Amino acid sequence: MTVSHTRQESQESQEDQGDQESLGNREIAEQPAAKVLRPHAEDAFAAELAALAAHDDRPRPERWRLSPWAVSLYLLGGTLPDGTVISPKYIGPRRIVEVAVTTLATDRALLLLGVPGTAKTWVSEHLAAAVSGDSTLLVQGTAGTPEEAIRYGWNYAQLLAHGPSRAALVPSPVMRAMSEGLTARVEELTRIPADVQDSLITILSEKTLPVPELGEEVQAVGGFNVIATANDRDRGVNDLSSALRRRFNTVVLPLPATPEAEVDIVSRRVDQLGRSLGLPVESDGMSEIRRVVTVFRELRDGVTADGRTKLKSPSGTLSTAEAISVVTNGLALATHFGDGVLRPGDVAAGILGAVVRDPAADRVIWQEYVETVVRERDGWKDFYRACREVTA
């Protein structure tokens, strides 16, 4: 599945052909295996998943790798009796995760709904990894998603040569999940055109996918379910037909309730991302993380943290996900061009980029914020100077 795997295989097949002395082959053998940039959740957290499976003696629904209890422990984090620490993936209300996991064990599909950057995609990937051990059965929803992406397509060379047959059929990720009893993921469901969305209705209610060309059908086996995500800012959930909506249990992922929770999410994710990018992650970046989160929350809420000053909100979403990327970029700046310590100057440009999406209106809002709030705040002098520098 990974690059190193494929390399090894191609190397073996070349060795079979007996040309292992060729330069190309030696080069392949000497190169260290390339690191995958972003491993799938089931690979990145394979050790945690294995430890959970070893300790999990609760009943598991058909074809589930873990019990619902263990899946929710995997998402929320905790410590196993032998001391193995399970890192939290989702930071938020426990009940949300429990409802989401339980839904997957019923005959209803799961719809994760929320404003941008509330971890819908992230939670969906980890749920599929923990339940099915495979988060890759993914349909990316766009305005151009065709029906074949949800049902099946054809290998046209095969089709023309031999006519319709099982061998010529190209199953969609959803069809594969049905026949193998796995979790399929549909990203951005509400961006998919209505008639294509409707092809999910029979799949979810009848648990069957007819293939009229072959006079056959694929019936879903135990373990099959669908996790869809939808963003309620881009286009509303109203774009989901009511017939389809009835097939889903909707779970709304909220924005982090408190500044502390948001700082916790950002620092954990920056720590993980920093490690995978080879950036040294020091805990002394906390004050800048706190500052980014404060600025984002105040502008998002339209009021300062002390509730005293009303603010105008800019057009951007200023989500937790954006705060994570502002801090990660700042860390890269500090590492490559500074002394490795995250400072106000490293995050100011990133914040400006996230806030000022509309060059005219947002710039005025930002300047007003800098002059009325940032300038007056105790301990924010360096940040004020950095903001003035990047805004000028």
Ligand X SMILES: Nc1ncnc2c1ncn2[C@@H]1O[C@H](COP(=O)(O)OP(=O)(O)OP(=O)(O)O)[C@@H](O)[C@H]1O
Task: Enumerate binding residues for Mg ion (CB under 5 A).
Answer: 120-121
> Which of the listed partners (Mg ion, ligand X, none) does 316 bind, with a CB threshold of 5 to 8 Å by partner kind?
none
Using CB under 6 A as the binding rule, whether residue 121 contacts ligand X is answered as yes
Interaction residues for ligand X, span 252-291 (CB under 6 A)? 256, 265, 269
Instruction: Return the residue of 118, 135, 225, 335 that touches ligand X, per CB under 6 A.
Output: 118
Q: Select from ligand X, Mg ion, none the partner in contact with residue 61, using the beta carbon and a kind-dependent cut-off of 5 to 8 Å.
A: none
Region from 77-85, 116-124, 129-137, 373-381 binding ligand X, contact rule CB under 6 A: 116-124
Residue type (1 letter), 333: L
Q: Which two tokens stand for residue 349?
A: 């440009």
Q: With CB under 6 A as the contact rule, which of the stretches 98-106, 220-228, 316-324, 375-383 interacts with ligand X? A: 316-324
Query: CA-CA distance, 135 to 65, in Å (whole number)?
Result: 13
Q: Which two tokens stand for residue 366?
A: 């930002």
Q: Does 314 bind ligand X (CB under 6 A)?
A: no
| From candidates 289, 324, 334, 387, binder to ligand X by CB under 6 A | 324
What burial letters (b/e) apply to 135-172, b meaning 16+ CB within 10 Å?
bbbbbebeeebebebbbbbeeeeebeeeeeeeebbebb
CA distances (Å), origin 153, targets 149, 158, 177, 388: 8, 12, 15, 55
Chosen from Mg ion, ligand X, none, partner binding at 91 (C-beta under 5 to 8 Å by type): ligand X
Minimum CB distance to Mg ion, residue 229 (Å): 5
119 binds ligand X (CB under 6 A): yes
316 touching ligand X, by CB under 6 A: no
Contact 263, 293 (CB under 8 A): yes
Query: Applying CB under 6 A, does 135 fall inside the site for ligand X?
Result: no
What span, in angstroms and rounded, lies between the C-alpha atoms of 390 and 392?
A: 6
Size of the site for ligand X (CB under 6 A): 19
DSSP per-residue letters across 29-50: HHSPPPPPSS--HHHHTHHHHH
Q: Residue 237 corresponds to which tokens in the numbers above?
A: 């959930």
Select from 70, 103, 117, 348 the one that contacts ligand X (CB under 6 A).
117
As measured in angstroms, the least distance from the Cβ of 47 to Mg ion is: 26
The interface partner of residue 118, options being Mg ion, ligand X, none and the CB cut-off 5 to 8 Å by kind, is ligand X
Q: Which stretch binds ligand X (CB under 6 A): 22-30, 114-122, 193-201, 214-222?
A: 114-122
Identify how many contiguous H helices and E strands the chain contains and give both numbers.
Answer: 18, 11
Residue 122 contacts ligand X per CB under 6 A: yes
CA distance 254 to 67: 25
| Cβ atoms 111, 253 nearer than 8 A | no
Q: Would you count residue 191 as binding ligand X (CB under 6 A)?
A: no
Provide, rounded to whole angstroms, the least separation between the CB of residue 38 and ligand X: 11
- 215 token code pair: 């006079």
Closest CA to 131 of 203, 225, 44: 225
Residue 117's binding partner among ligand X, Mg ion, none (Cβ under 5 to 8 angstroms by kind) is: ligand X
Among ligand X, Mg ion, none, residue 92 binds (CB under 5-8 Å by kind): ligand X
Contacts 24+ apart (CB under 8 A), 258-261: 259/290, 259/293, 259/294, 259/297, 259/305, 261/91, 261/92
Minimum CB–partner distance for residue 105 and ligand X (Å): 22
Binding stretches for ligand X (CB under 6 A) = 90-92, 114, 116-122, 229, 231, 256, 265, 269, 320-321, 324
